[in-house]
Amino acid sequence: MTINPALAVQTYDKARMAAAPAPADAPARSEAAFGAAIGSFAAGLHQAEVAATRSMVTGADPHALVEALAATELAVETAVSVRNKVVEAYLEILRMPV
């Protein structure tokens, strides 16, 4: 059985790259993405609140109010689902034997 040295070096390089640690900026990118998602959520809630206030005070377009409330409901349901998944994962980690 002959071993091709070039193939062995390529295979070693692929394995080394696969086992390399993640870049140092990976946590910063995920934190930025999470922060952007939270900011988007807060902005959506604020826009719905403004639409509701405008509709109640000035009698603005009721269709815009319904759209804003539907978008807010979807955002809140999504946030609750994410929270439930995080709590579920945390409880699963607590159940792991040490």
User: For residues 35 and 29, which has the higher predicted lDDT (pLDDT)?
Assistant: 35
Instruction: Give residue 42's pLDDT.
Output: 87
Query: pLDDT: is 44 or 87 the higher one?
Result: 87
pLDDT per position as a tens digit, 36-83: 888 888 888 888 888 888 888 887 777 878 888 888 888 889 889 999
SS3 for the chain, per residue?
CCCCHHHHHHHHHHHHHHCCCCCCCHHHHHHHHHHHHHHHHHHHHHHHHHHHHHHHHHCCCHHHHHHHHHHHHHHHHHHHHHHHHHHHHHHHHHHCCC
pLDDT value of position 1: 57
